[in-house]
């Protein structure tokens, strides 16, 4: 079991019982009524996760420095991100280059927020390409000036 779900009130009212759940799980997800849920883990597990993520990212970035690595990444992107099938080929290449750059920076900063944002933005671009009506609406010049963008 990797994640146990509890209410935040469980932690506040029964902290020992709630924290005991970490013995059998990697994380406790604390549900909150009026705000974003929290995730609780041990410092050792958080450090392990960071170490693995950093090592994997560095390997991926180094792999992309070779022509064979770039080809492999372009081959596996559709399995990893099925929505790239809707992107034009040049956009798939651009996405892979931007993803590698963002992953490298994320490892240095110990923050994945920019990577998550990049993936979200490219996924939305694929959504536009997947919907002919939306694509036409967004790429057709209406002749109107909507002001600064």
Yes or no: say if 114 and 105 are a contact pair by the CB < 8 Å rule.
yes
For residue 149, the model assigns a pLDDT of 59
Collect all residues with Cβ–Cβ distance below 8 Å to 37 and sequence separation of at least 6: 29, 30, 31
| Token pair recorded at residue 138 | 């967004």
pLDDT in tens, 109-123: 888 899 999 999 999
Rounded mean pLDDT of 124-144? Answer: 89
Distance (Å, whole) CA 5 – CA 15? 14
For residue 53, the model assigns a pLDDT of 85
Instruction: Sheet with 27-31: list strands edge to edge.
Output: 3-7, 27-31, 38-40
pLDDT > 90? residue 98: yes
Higher pLDDT, 1 or 42: 42
For residue 1, the model assigns a pLDDT of 58
pLDDT > 80? residue 104: yes
For residue 77, the model assigns a pLDDT of 93
pLDDT > 80? residue 148: no
Whole-prediction pTM: 0.74
For residue 144, the model assigns a pLDDT of 78
| Token pair recorded at residue 53 | 């993520």
């Amino acid at each position: 079991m990797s994640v146990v779900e509890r209410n935040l009130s469980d932690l506040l009212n029964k902290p020992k019982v709630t924290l005991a759940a970490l013995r059998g799980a990697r994380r406790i997800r604390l549900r909150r009524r009026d705000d974003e849920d929290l995730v609780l883990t041990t410092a050792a597990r958080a450090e392990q996760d960071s170490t693995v993520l950093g090592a994997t990212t560095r390997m991926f970035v180094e792999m992309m420095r070779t022509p064979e690595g770039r080809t492999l990444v372009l081959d596996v992107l559709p399995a990893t991100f099925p929505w790239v099938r809707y992107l034009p080929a040049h956009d798939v290449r651009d996405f892979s280059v931007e993803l590698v750059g963002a992953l490298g920076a994320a490892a240095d900063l110990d923050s994945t927020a920019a990577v998550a944002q990049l993936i979200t933005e490219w996924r939305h671009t694929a959504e536009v390409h997947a919907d002919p009506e939306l694509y036409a609406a967004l790429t057709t010049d209406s002749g109107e000036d909507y002001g600064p963008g």
